[in-house]
Each structure stands twice: as C-alpha cells, then as structure tokens.
Structure 1
C-alpha cells in the first residue's frame, strides 16, 4: 500500500484546487495545441530541407556531359 501524502501537502493541493490554479485554462490549452502543431510543422520543414540539402550536395553532372 502506498504511503499517504502528508497533511500539509493535501491541504495545499485542496487550496490550489479551490483557487482554480491547477491545470490549464481553455486559452492555455488552445495556445499549447497551436504551439505543438507549429513545432510539428517546423520539424517537417527541417526534415524536407535536410533531404533537399543531401540531394543537392550530390556530385553534379559534368556540364560537358549534358545533352541539349
């Protein structure tokens, strides 16, 4: 059986809940969701740029070997 929380901790937790301080507000949740979506988008862009960089860094064809 887990040890019970000390009475001071329980009293503090109850007071925070009554004040409405734990958790996120609706606005904070929306901002967090938008930030996570933006991070996901930026990570995809970085991935695309890395692949493009690798592709562009390959040895180019000799211009004399190209045909018109």
Structure 2
C-alpha cells in the first residue's frame, strides 16, 4: 500500500497575527502559521521511510481528529 508510509500530524492552527504600521516594511508578514520547531523535531525523529503530513485545522474539535 502506498499510503502505508504516510502519517498525519494535526497541530492546532493558532495563527500569529501582527499589525502592520506605517513603519513596517512592505514585505513584512501580516499573518503567519505553522510550528516550524515541532515540524523539525518530528521530521528528524520519524522513520526515514515514512512521510509526515502536517495539518493545521481550525478549532479544537478539528485538531483532535
């Protein structure tokens, strides 16, 4: 089975929202998401023959599925 070596990690989608001001640069992010630290640790520790799919569902109920 192809999907046998894939697994999904649900991380709650708590977005970091930062306000832009008149002193902000044009390329500054308005909204960011993701947990790069958690993704890095899981990618390093997962078995090498597997693929991890990271999902950031909205709301508590969706993060538990």
TM range (shorter): under 0.3
More strand by share: 2
Structure with greater contact order relative to length (CA < 8 Å, sep ≥ 6): 2
**TM-score between the two structures when normalised by the length of structure 1:** 0.24
More helix by share: 1
